[in-house]
Chain A
Amino acid sequence: MTESAPHIPPCDPERWLEEHGDFLYRFALLHLRDPSTAEDAVQETLLAAFTAKEKFSGQSAERTWLIGILKHKVVDIFRRQRREPAMEIEDHNRPQAGDSAEEALFDDRGEWVTPLQDWGNPEHAFEQKRFWEALELCLDRLPIQQARMFLLREVSGLSTEEICKELGVSSTNSWVMLYRARMSLRACLEMNWLDVEKPRRRT
């Protein structure tokens, strides 16, 4: 029994820009932090998609296909920035010296100083606009290397081997950075998503 072929929308870069432009831009901005670099990444992505030998085959969603191309562009840009330090953007979020950020969370027996809040059902959290706003804010506050490490791993889905190669770090280093990123993110999320009504505590 054969079904008719899936309807493949015509290859139309202007429509892609219309339907996916903002998402691709925000995705790029999350990783690259600089608006004009992010714009370039979106342009490069749409151009690459348009001239791609392997045309979109309709097997996955169109946006998924475009995101795949954008992810490669982002990695390319990271690679370029590594080679040309002048291209690196300024990191306003200096990582805390040594372990000090995590030290504060644990007492001298290595136990949590303050209990954590239960975030409940993830699906319920994902329905809240404030959750996503807080997540974007918190990702933006991470020191650059931690942010790149975390995003390449969790959003772009690269393996640690690939990330270590792209960012030029050892795997032990990558684990430390991912740990710090996760510790910062969960604390920041709690404060900016759940604790919004409560008086702010200094981090």
Chain B
Amino acid sequence: MLTCKEVTKLVSQSHERRLSWREQLGVRLHLMVCKTCPIFADQLVVLHRACQRIAQGSELDSSASEGMSPEARARIRETLQRQEPKREE
């Protein structure tokens, strides 16, 4: 019977590679009798989904962390403006 420690490693790896049938069986058996490891597995899924949300362009907007400084913004805006062909007003 696999230990919780071994199962946590395999559950983590299952996000990157296909487990062998032996490993899969070991993990499944353990998850059936352990109260904690299934919670761990679920937590990894929450982490994964949270990261997907960030990847899709949300959740960081209303963040407490700082956005770009006004100086940086201005610098970037200037650089971008220099790239654009002159517009007629």
User: Which residues of chain B come closer than 8 Å to A126, judged between CB atoms?
Assistant: 49-50, 53, 59
Known A14-B77, A14-B80, A154-B48: A179·B60 in contact at CB below 8 Å: no
User: A174 contacts which chain B residues (CB < 8 A)?
Assistant: 16
Task: With A155-B55, A189-B43 given, name 16 new contacts (CB 8 A).
Answer: A22-B68, A39-B68, A50-B80, A50-B83, A67-B55, A102-B5, A115-B36, A116-B40, A117-B39, A119-B42, A126-B59, A129-B64, A154-B52, A178-B12, A178-B15, A185-B47
Chain B interface, number of residues (Cβ within 8 angstroms): 52
**How far is B8's CA from A106's CA once the two chains are assembled, in angstroms?**
11
Complex Cα–Cα for A13 and B77 (A): 8
Q: Which of B1-32 contact A (CB under 8 A)?
A: 3-6, 8-9, 12-13, 15-17
Where the two chains meet, the residues of B that have a C-beta atom closer than 8 Å to any C-beta of A are: 3-6, 8-9, 12-13, 15-17, 35-37, 39-40, 42-57, 59-65, 67-69, 72-73, 75-77, 79-81, 83-84
Closest to B72 in A: A39
